[in-house]
Amino acid sequence: MTKSPVETLFTAFNESALILQNSLSVTYLEAIAMTGENLFRGRITQNGLSELDEKRLNKIYRNINLDAFSREQIRKSYQLAILKGMKENVQTNHQMTPDTIGLLMSYFIAKFTEGRDAFSILDPAVGTGNLLTTILNQLEQKKITAYGVDIDDVLIRLAYTGANLLHHEIELFTQDALSHLFIDPVDVVVCDLPVGYYPNDAGAAQYKLEADEGHSYAHHLFIEQSLRTARPGGYLFFLIPNHLFESKEAPKLHQFLKEEADIQAVLQLPLSAFKHEQAAKSIFVIRKKADGVKAPEQVLLASLPSFSNQQALRQVMAKIDAWCKENIQINEK
Buried residues in 257-278 as b, exposed as e (16+ CB within 10 A): beebbbbbbbbebbeeeeeeee
Nearest 5 degrees, angle CA 200-CA 203-CA 207? 125
Residues pairing with 144 in the sheet:
119
Question: What's the whole-model pTM score?
Answer: 0.92
Per-residue pLDDT at 333? 43
Q: How far apart are the first and last CA of the chain?
A: 55
Q: Which helix (H) or strand (E) holds 310?
A: helix 310-327
Per-residue pLDDT at 143? 96
Per-residue pLDDT at 68? 95
Per-residue pLDDT at 331? 52
In the chain, the amino acid numbered 75 is: R
Dist. CA 153–CA 146, nearest whole Å: 18
Dist. CA 56–CA 61, nearest whole Å: 9
Per-residue pLDDT at 2? 79
Domains and CATH numbers, the chain: 5-88 (1.10.150.470), 99-327 (3.40.50.150)
**Is the distance from CB of 232 to CB of 289 less than 8 angstroms?**
yes
* DSSP E strand boundaries for the chain: 118-123, 143-150, 170-174, 186-192, 197-198, 216-217, 230-241, 261-268, 281-288, 300-303
Instruction: Report the chain's C-alpha Rg in angstroms.
Output: 21
Backbone angles phi, psi at 284, to 5 degrees: -120, 115
Q: Collect all residues with Cβ–Cβ distance below 8 Å to 38 and sequence separation of at least 6.
A: 16, 44, 45, 46, 57, 61
- Report residues of the chain scoring pLDDT below 70: 89-95, 329-333
* DSSP-based three-state secondary structure for 202: helix
Residues of the chain by 3-state class (helix, strand, coil), percent to 5: 45, 20, 35
**Is the distance from CB of 142 to CB of 187 less than 8 angstroms?**
no
DSSP state of 45: -
Q: From the CB of residue 88, how many other CB atoms can be counted at a distance below 10 Å?
A: 11
Backbone angles phi, psi at 149, to 5 degrees: -130, 135
Of 217, 234, 209, 218, the residue nearest 151 (C-alpha): 218
Per-residue pLDDT at 218? 96
